[in-house]
Homo-oligomer: A and B are copies of this chain.
Amino acid sequence: MTKPNKKAVVLCSGGLDSATTLALAHHRGFVCHSLAIDYGQRHRAELFAAERIAQQLGAIDHCTLRIDLRTIGGSALTDPQIAVPESPANTESDTEPKTGIPITYVPARNTVFLSLALGQAEVLGATAIFIGVNAVDYSGYPDCRPQYLRAFAQLAKLATKAAVEGHLIAIEAPLLHLTKAQIIARGHQLGIDYAATVSCYQADPQGRACGRCDSCHLRRQGFIAANLPDPTRYQPTAPTAPKKA
């Protein structure tokens, strides 16, 4: 026997984008199951932020799955030997190859995350997975592109017992075509307290941002462009906010 349900698994990293995604899913009436992945990222503070945000934004529960991607390595976010670049996003450098994909790219991360969300969605009987990827203001990660998401949605139609039985799980990326400023403006309308979110790649244990990494740059510019005050808690050593780009 089936009954109508509108459950969703929402990938929640603790950052600005996933918080907005969770708020949007909740606003659309989904019963939201928040899922964070502890993959050995150096910015551990985001995991605490994820739990806090899930609670604040109405998720029915929050689960942290552990998978140590440090075993695989190959990214500044999982390999302590690789420094987080502090140049502005999409700047070519010795550590960033010809595609301009930064060294903060974690090999196959979104594929791993979506796969885990797919398993959880299947067990919960959810009809959607929400992910806060963004193709506009993002740093050029291949697994944030529309064509990538379409391919994963196609895979999801074939991968599960649920799909074989006719219960499809949609992949929802509501931020995909928004600028960071538009994301912030939308979240502001929904009443999100962005001070609780952690986007910084090298946040300190208190969750305070460095103000220098790509992620901090994008976030800061977003608040400026949205013409909204930036509530981010910065480390004492962080540079002061730049003027509007």
Using CB atoms and an 8 Å cutoff, list the residues of chain A in contact with chain B: 63, 65-69, 71-74, 97-99, 101, 105-112, 114-116, 118-120, 122-123, 142-143, 145, 147-148, 151-152, 154-155, 157-161, 163-165
Do B118 and A108 have beta carbons less than 8 Å apart?
yes
A contact patch SS: helix
CB neighbours (8 Å) of A165 from chain B are 97-99
Do B107 and A160 have beta carbons less than 8 Å apart?
yes
Do A123 and B155 have beta carbons less than 8 Å apart?
no
Do A112 and B116 have beta carbons less than 8 Å apart?
yes
Closest beta carbon of chain B to A195's beta carbon, Å: 29
Which of B63, B111, B112, B164 is the one whose CB lies under 8 Å from A142?
B164
CB neighbours (8 Å) of A110 from chain B are 159
Lowest 5 CB-CB distances: which A-B pairs, in order? A108-B119, A74-B123, A107-B119, A67-B67, A107-B122
Can you report 11 A-B residue pairs in the complex whose CB atoms are below 8 A from each other? A65-B71, A74-B123, A97-B161, A97-B165, A101-B161, A101-B164, A107-B120, A107-B122, A108-B159, A111-B118, A151-B154
